């Protein structure tokens, strides 16, 4: 990777206060949904973000869009610090970052025609100068995502899930963004439709050079679309690697366990596989474990894991892992930060 | 949700092509008659009463307060289709004129109430936080007063009259109804498309106008139509207590509770005429409102 990163996230934290009482609110703790996430995303690249439910993937996405206020950390977009911009200052930047949502049913207003949905970003940003140009642009966008232009007159409920997701993608494309955040964008679709949508994402990237932050819990989808993959566990990234490296040679025990859990679509092979299942439950995000977040469930736990929080160490844009097992890779650097 | 592969580019043959050369209203009326016959009937009945109200002065065969000592408490006849009351006034003329008053009062008051509910509900529900807290405690306090007590107090201070009743009843129902709108707004606000609009960079006025209000429309329609019926009844109740539109102006409520109740055994038509009108109108507008709500929902289009 030679170019400057499009998006840099440094030690991002999003904590939600937990309060008790109605009138006199007492602060009794905080839900540490995102607790020190750092990653880079380069122009035209796809970074997959995987992890189980509740690990903070979507919260990260919302914080990047400034829909949630980060508790601490920095977000740089195109070299510019956007962490503390006001909502007004954020507006022009919203043209650059768009989002595609998980739920193809809830993400489109049922009372708006497809034309108005797809064209809404243009209207909001005052780009719909005259009616004819507006209609042309919307028709172009609708065609671009593989729908027919005369579908602009219809309402969302007349479409299937896959088609709706295409409408959502057309809306995200309207402003020609540099980055699209796909929050579980294909998880709600049938497998056959998933493949179509993933291919559409890839085609769009090839043509328009869009970068994706592709959030998912399905590793096979992520494997197909991502250039690099970041694995999250309990609010922190535990491993980042190019997708072929991650899948062929996982380093973090959690990544290994995740890959083990992917079923093989062959009953004979599947029954012969040696499963190394994780024990226990995901710990509470209100009181995360000391040291490495993963140590209570880790099959390869070391003594120091319960005290020292391993840092995500590695070359920028390359491979990095946050695990004491791999400390020797970077001269035994450990983290002095305690949660 | 199962979809055939190639969901993207296959034209939907079942889609109905919009018929051109027809106004949207005409198409809507045809759809109403076809899909919701009961609602259409309600609408027709309601329209009939509305027209009667509008043209009451032309339609009324006699003067509203024209008395005739020879024709007191006469049962319905060709000369007096709805009979006459105890001082010989024509009941049909009074019902028509009373309908006019009831329509004006109920429409204005229900309209005002819906508007007030919308404004308070949207402010409270969409912006939330401290504003919501303050507004809703005010609404709580307001709702602890029984409707009628509040009405009696205010009317006895500002005096009876049509405008007073419209404003008071409008505010009364408006503030109480804001709770319903608030709930609807909150549920819409939390939907993904509202978040999506925000992430696009849309400002609150745009989100409210394009996303929130259209999606609470069904609630508003039902609120309005039920309020129209309720206001007619409240006005009747106030007239009964002598706090409504002052006599001798005829209102359905006044006729029902005044002469209607007093002479119920001697002349049942005195109570039946305004009473039936009241019942029919309130029922008709409720049915019509329900049909309207269903038809205005794009999701219901094409489904019977």
The pLDDT tens digits for A293-304 are 888 888 888 888
- Token couple for A243: 């997708």
CB contact under 8 A, B210 and A112: yes
- Using the predicted structure, report yes or no on whether residue B301 has a pLDDT greater than 60: no
Are the beta carbons of A46 and A205 closer than 8 angstroms? yes
SS3 content of chain B, % helix, strand, coil (to 5): 70, 0, 30
Per-residue model confidence as pLDDT tens digits over B19-53? 444 567 777 788 888 888 888 888 888 888 888 88
| Average pLDDT of the residues in A165-184 | 92
Helices (H), chain A: 57-64, 87-94, 114-124, 131-144, 161-173, 191-208, 219-225, 243-248, 253-261, 267-272
Name the pTM for this structure. Answer: 0.78
* Cβ of residue B200 closer than 8 Å to a chain A Cβ: yes
Q: Which residues of A touch B13 (CB under 8 A)?
A: none
Considering B55-64, B92-101, B124-133, B224-233, the range whose residues carry the highest mean pLDDT is B124-133
Q: A313-314 and A320-321: which strand pairing? A: antiparallel
| Average pLDDT of the residues in B249-253 | 79
Q: Which of A175-179, A234-238, B246-250 has the lowest mean pLDDT?
A: B246-250
Per-residue model confidence as pLDDT tens digits over B270-282? 888 888 888 888 8
Residue A2: the pLDDT is 55
| Average pLDDT of the residues in B285-298 | 81
Are the beta carbons of A46 and A212 closer than 8 angstroms? yes
Instruction: Find the CB nearest A103 among B8, B15, B192.
Output: B192
CB contact under 8 A, B201 and A101: no
Q: A80-81 and A72-77: which strand pairing? A: antiparallel
| Average pLDDT of the residues in A264-285 | 76
Residue A316: the pLDDT is 63
Instruction: Find the CB nearest A157 among B5, B214, B298.
Output: B298
Mutate to test the interface with B, among A23, A109, A128, A197 (most CBs of B within 10 A): A109
Residue that is written with structure tokens 């829909």 in the block: A67
Helices B213-240 and B162-189 pack at an angle, to 10 degrees, of 150
- Using the predicted structure, report yes or no on whether residue A133 has a pLDDT greater than 60: yes
Residue B1: the pLDDT is 38
pLDDT band of B117, cuts 50, 70, 90: very high
Complex confidence, ipTM: 0.81
- Using the predicted structure, report yes or no on whether residue B252 has a pLDDT greater than 90: no
pLDDT band of A46, cuts 50, 70, 90: very high
CB contact under 8 A, A196 and B7: yes
| Superfamily in which the B93-303 domain is placed by CATH | MetI-like (1.10.3720.10)
In chain B, what are the domain boundaries?
93-303
Cβ-count burial of A267 within 10 angstroms (0-12 exposed, 13-18 middle, 19+ buried)?
Answer: exposed
pLDDT band of A114, cuts 50, 70, 90: very high
- How far is residue B31's CA from residue B36's CA, in Å, rounded to a whole number? 8
CB contact under 8 A, A124 and B202: yes
CB contact under 8 A, B5 and A193: yes
Who wins on pLDDT, A175 or B293?
A: A175
| Average pLDDT of the residues in A305-328 | 78
- How far is residue A177's CA from residue B45's CA, in Å, rounded to a whole number? 55
Residue B70: the pLDDT is 74
Rounded to whole angstroms, what are the CA distances from B27 to A155, A158, B24, B32, B41?
Answer: 18, 20, 5, 9, 17
What is the layout of strands, in order, in the sheet containing A7-20? A26-41, A7-20, A72-77, A80-81
CB contact under 8 A, B9 and A147: yes
Mutate to test the interface with B, among A124, A142, A184 (most CBs of B within 10 A): A124
Q: Which residues of B touch A88 (CB under 8 A)?
A: none
Rounded to whole angstroms, what are the CA distances from B2 to A163, A195, A281?
Answer: 12, 15, 33
What are residue A165's DSSP bridge partners?
none
């Amino acid at each position: 990777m030679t170019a400057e990163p499009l998006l840099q996230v440094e030690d991002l934290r999003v904590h939600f206060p937990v309060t008790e009482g109605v009138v006199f609110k007492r602060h009794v703790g905080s839900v540490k949904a995102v607790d020190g996430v750092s990653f880079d995303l380069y122009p035209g690249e796809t970074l997959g973000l995987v992890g189980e439910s509740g690990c903070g993937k979507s919260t990260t996405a919302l914080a990047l869009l400034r829909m949630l206020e980060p508790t601490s950390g920095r977000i740089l977009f195109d070299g510019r610090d956007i962490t503390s911009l006001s909502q007004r200052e954020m507006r022009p930047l919203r043209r650059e970052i768009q989002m595609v949502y998980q739920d193809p049913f809830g993400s489109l207003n049922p009372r708006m025609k497809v034309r108005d949905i797809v064209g809404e970003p243009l209207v909001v940003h005052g780009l719909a100068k005259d009616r004819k140009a507006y209609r042309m642009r919307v028709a172009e966008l609708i065609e671009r995502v593989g729908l027919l232009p005369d579908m602009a007159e219809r309402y969302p409920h007349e479409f299937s899930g896959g088609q709706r997701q295409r409408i959502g993608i057309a809306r995200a494309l309207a402003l020609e963004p540099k980055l699209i955040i796909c929050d579980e964008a294909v998880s709600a679709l049938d497998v056959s439709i998933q493949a179509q949508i993933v291919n559409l994402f890839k085609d769009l990237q090839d043509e328009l050079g869009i970068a994706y932050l592709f959030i998912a819990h399905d590793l096979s989808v992520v494997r197909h679309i991502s250039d690099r993959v970041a694995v999250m566990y309990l609010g922190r990234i535990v491993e980042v690697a190019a997708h072929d490296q991650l899948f062929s040679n996982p380093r973090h025990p959690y990544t290994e366990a995740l890959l083990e859990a992917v079923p093989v679509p062959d009953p004979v092979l599947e029954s012969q596989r040696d499963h190394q299942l994780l024990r226990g439950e995901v710990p509470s995000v209100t009181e995360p474990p000391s040291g490495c977040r993963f140590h209570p469930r880790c099959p390869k736990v070391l003594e120091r894991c319960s005290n020292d929080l391993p840092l995500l160490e590695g070359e920028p844009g390359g491979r990095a892992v946050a695990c004491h097992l791999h400390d020797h890779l970077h001269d035994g650097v450990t983290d002095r930060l305690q949660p | 949700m199962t979809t055939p592969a190639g969901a993207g580019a296959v034209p939907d043959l079942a889609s109905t092509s919009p018929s051109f050369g027809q106004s949207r209203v005409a198409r809507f009326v045809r759809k109403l008659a076809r899909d919701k016959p009961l609602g259409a009937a309600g609408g027709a009945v309601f329209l009939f009463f509305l027209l009667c109200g509008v043209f009451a002065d032309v339609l009324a065969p006699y003067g509203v307060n024209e008395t005739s000592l020879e024709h007191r408490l006469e049962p319905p006849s060709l000369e007096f289709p709805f009979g006459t009351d105890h001082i010989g006034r024509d009941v049909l003329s009074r019902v028509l004129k009373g309908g006019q008053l009831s329509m004006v009062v109920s429409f204005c008051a229900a309209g005002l109430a819906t508007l007030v509910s919308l404004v308070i509900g949207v402010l409270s529900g969409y912006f939330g936080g401290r504003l919501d807290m303050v507004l809703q405690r005010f609404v709580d306090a307001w709702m602890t007063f029984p409707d009628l007590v509040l009405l009696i107090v205010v009317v006895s201070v500002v005096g009876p009259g049509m405008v007073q009743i419209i404003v008071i009843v409008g505010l009364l129902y408006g503030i109480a109804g804001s709770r319903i709108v608030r709930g609807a707004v909150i549920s819409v606000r939390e939907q993904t498309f509202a978040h999506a609009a925000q992430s696009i960079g849309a400002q609150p006025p745009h989100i409210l106008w394009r996303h929130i209000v259209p999606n609470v429309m069904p609630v508003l329609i039902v609120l309005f139509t039920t309020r129209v019926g309720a206001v007619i009844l409240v006005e009747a109740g106030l007239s009964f207590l002598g706090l409504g539109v002052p006599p001798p102006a005829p209102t359905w409520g006044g006729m029902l509770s005044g002469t209607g109740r007093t002479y119920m055994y001697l002349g049942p038509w005195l109570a039946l005429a305004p009473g039936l009108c009241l019942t029919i109108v309130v029922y008709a507008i409720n049915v019509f409102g329900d049909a309207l709500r269903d038809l205005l929902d794009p999701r219901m289009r094409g489904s019977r």
